[in-house]
Amino acid sequence: MEALRKMAVAGTFYPASCQKLKAMFRTFNQKFDTLDIAPKTRKIIPRAVIVPHAGYIFSGYTANFAYRFLAPSKAKRFIVIGPSHHVYFKGISGSFFEHYQTPCGNLDIDIPYLFALAKRFNIGFIPPAHAKEHSTEVQMPFLQHYFPHRKVIELIYSDIPVKSLMNIITALLQDKDNAVIISSDLSHFHPLKEAEAIDRNCLLGVRDFDYNRLQKCEACGEIGIKAMVLAAKALKLHSKLLDYRTSAAATGNRHSVVGYMGAILYANI
């Protein structure tokens, strides 16, 4: 087992400098702090979040919106679940490393918990799947920023049935010491109006736990979103959409965009 899961997309998806990364988080939070959010809503502490995984200049604000709600969480470990973009394999792979590198310091991986989880759900280890996977890596600087002394686990899935992933998420959320991060961007490379229409299926599917809507959702992490919705519904959680935008907000290009959603799943408040 290797000691360190090294950063692979620092300097491209997010700053490689801790100073620049912290400056970016300050910018996100300055904007968040100006929002008129109802006091009751601000009190929500989610059990899980759905966040995007593009470069921070495109989707970092949307992701941070969800992490700000997650920030008061007392969870002892955070399980980041994302799709494999580079390697095809059957099933799901766990981060069997000791630490996860970020620009502002390493996070500890909860190896004993991961071994127990792997034994229960037949989780393997596909090293090439972890080497350059950005869907999960881009979440780690957020976790290091908000939870520097908590533990993490990275789960990357490829060809896996929704029900199988749902069973894992359900088991994770039955443990109050866990919080789950589902990583997914939405539709890719449609004109803005078309993208917004397609993404509406994803947004309403998550908001209303409407699986039929999710069948029309285009997302690179579609399996993760569907599994999360099924698990949340089974556990009688609630959902709230926080932010939706497309890459057009950052680039001005309305002809070919990528969609981003931030959402939280929570128990009664």
Instruction: Dump pLDDT digits (tens) for 16-41.
Output: 999 999 999 999 999 999 999 999 99
Question: Domain residue spans in the chain?
Answer: 4-33+46-266
Q: Which long-range contacts (CB under 8 A, 24 or more apart) does 15-23 make?
A: 15/56, 15/103, 16/103, 17/103, 18/103, 18/104, 18/105, 21/103, 21/104, 21/141, 21/145, 22/104, 22/145
> What's this model's pTM, rounded to 2 decimal places?
0.97
Phi/psi-derived region of residue 52, left when phi > 0, alpha when psi is between -120 and 50, beta in every other case: beta
Q: Is the pLDDT of residue 269 over 70?
A: no
Instruction: Dump pLDDT digits (tens) for 129-181.
Output: 999 999 999 999 999 999 999 999 999 999 999 999 999 999 999 999 999 99
Q: Is the pLDDT of residue 268 over 90?
A: no
- Class of 4-33+46-266 per CATH? alpha beta
